[in-house]
Amino acid sequence: MKKAIVFDLDGTLLNTLDDLCDSTNYALAALHFPPRTLDEVRRFVGNGIRKLIERAVPDTASAEQTEECYRVFCEHYKHNMENKTKEYDGISDMLSALQDAGYRMAIVTNKADFAAQELCSTLFGKYVKTVVGSVDGRPNKPAPDGVYYALEQMGVTPDEAVFVGDSEVDIQTAHNAHLDAVGVLWGFRDETQLRATGVKTLVRTPKELKNMLLKLKSC
């Protein structure tokens, strides 16, 4: 029987892409670098803000320029992370049903911890108490460290939990942490990209995910 669910955040519970793109282009403009398109930023996300900026700056950018771009991004994003960000349709209904079924839930994300804590507290605080963001000293996904920390907080073992995410990073994280993986198809990666990871279970809507997880709880 499964007792817990570990969710990714960006692209799984929240559509954060527009705000990430806006802050990326604000930071790039501050360094007089050309902007990036929404589709480019979609490809760049998944490994944390620092990697996003490293991918977004031109190849000619120096280490100092990249670091400054990262600093500007973080400062801008702190004050603009909720401008356009919203949960995907059906997410709150799903979380409520899973909570009622007795699931323990956590969010493990490569998003900077300051942003993860604020967004999750505002939007999902009544459902999810364990939120693990990116911090210095703990490897980001696909390393399993954040997942293991979340499982410890919830008091469950890897075989009692499921990992739900929208990217190849999430599927690899689940594999590294020895959790069953579920890929969602409404996020930042398409079906071809997810199937290439070898994931066995894919869902197309939060309602489908909810029903699948509720069945696992009763098995």
Q: At what angle do helices 206-218 and 91-100 cross, to 10 degrees?
A: 10
Active site residue 39: no
Tens-binned pLDDT, residue by residue, of the chain (219 aa): 899 999 999 999 999 999 999 999 999 999 999 999 999 999 999 999 999 999 999 999 999 999 999 999 999 999 999 999 999 999 999 999 999 999 999 999 999 999 999 999 999 999 999 999 999 999 999 999 999 999 999 999 999 999 999 999 999 999 999 999 999 999 999 999 999 999 999 999 999 999 999 998 766
Angle at 35 (CA atoms; ends 30, 38), nearest 5 degrees: 130
Which among 8, 10, 19, 170 is annotated as catalytic?
Answer: 8
Give phi and psi for 6, each to the nearest 5. Answer: -110, 120
Report the Cα 140 to chain-centroid distance in Å.
11
CB 27 within 8 A of CB 76: yes
CB 109 within 8 A of CB 9: yes
| 190: its two tokens | 């398409």
pLDDT at 219 (0 to 100): 64
Report the Cα 63 to chain-centroid distance in Å.
26
pLDDT at 209 (0 to 100): 98
86-87 and 161-165 as β-strands: parallel, antiparallel, unpaired? unpaired
What domains are defined for the chain?
4-15+85-218 (3.40.50.1000), 17-80 (1.10.150.240)
**Rounded CA gap, 11 and 165, in Å?**
8
**Rounded CA gap, 29 and 159, in Å?**
46
pLDDT at 216 (0 to 100): 87
Helix (H) or strand (E) holding 69: helix 63-80
